Amino acid sequence: MTAVATPADRQPGFTLIELLVVMAVLAVLASLVAPRYMDKVDTARETVLRQDLLGLRTAIDQFYRDQARYPQTLDELVLKRYIRAIPVDPLTESATSWIVVPPRDGAAEVFDVKSGAKQRARDGSDYASW
């Protein structure tokens, strides 16, 4: 006499086909979400860069109004407590990559700052021109 497997004799679990279908659905969802996520990351970096540039330029202007001269270095802004620390450029991920722009008279002072990033922004402009 041969034993016939009844539904009560089967072990619970998923079949290989069911697992493959679930994996395929997850892969499709991930392929839809990933580009949007990367786009948001780029937008966030650009926003942080704009805010960092605004903060540094404001500190330079306040320093000039108080001291009647521009700072010699960005570190002088920290030493005189115009900023707490030199911000990290979100694109180069370094606090030392800022490009210091001297005043038009050529003095060795900080008149403006720009990003040291070589890439282009989403609008087509160079980050270094901001």
Alpha-carbon torsion (79, 85, 86, 92), positive or negative: positive
Closest CA to 98 of 85, 80, 79, 81: 85
- Assess whether pLDDT exceeds 70 at residue 43: yes
Identify the pLDDT of residue 7.
Answer: 63
Q: Residue 37 — pLDDT band, cuts 50, 70, 90?
A: confident
Q: Is the pLDDT of residue 1 over 80?
A: no
Identify the pLDDT of residue 34.
86
Report the sign of the C-alpha dihedral through residues 87, 90, 94, 99, in that order: negative
| Rounded-to-integer distance, Cα 107 and Cα 72, Å | 9
Cβ-Cβ contacts under 8 Å for 36 (sequence gap 6 or more): none
- Put simply, whether the predicted model's pTM sits higher than 0.85 gets the answer no
- For residue range 47-103, list pLDDT tens digits in order: 999 999 999 999 999 999 999 999 999 999 999 999 999 999 999 999 999 999 999
Domain boundaries defined on the chain: 20-129
Q: Each residue of 102-128: pLDDT tens digit?
A: 999 888 899 999 999 999 998 999 999
- Alpha-carbon distance 56 to 76, whole Å? 12
Q: Would you place residue 3 in the very low, low, confident or very high pLDDT band (cuts 50, 70, 90)?
A: low
| Digit-coded pLDDT (tens) for 18-34 | 999 999 999 999 999 88
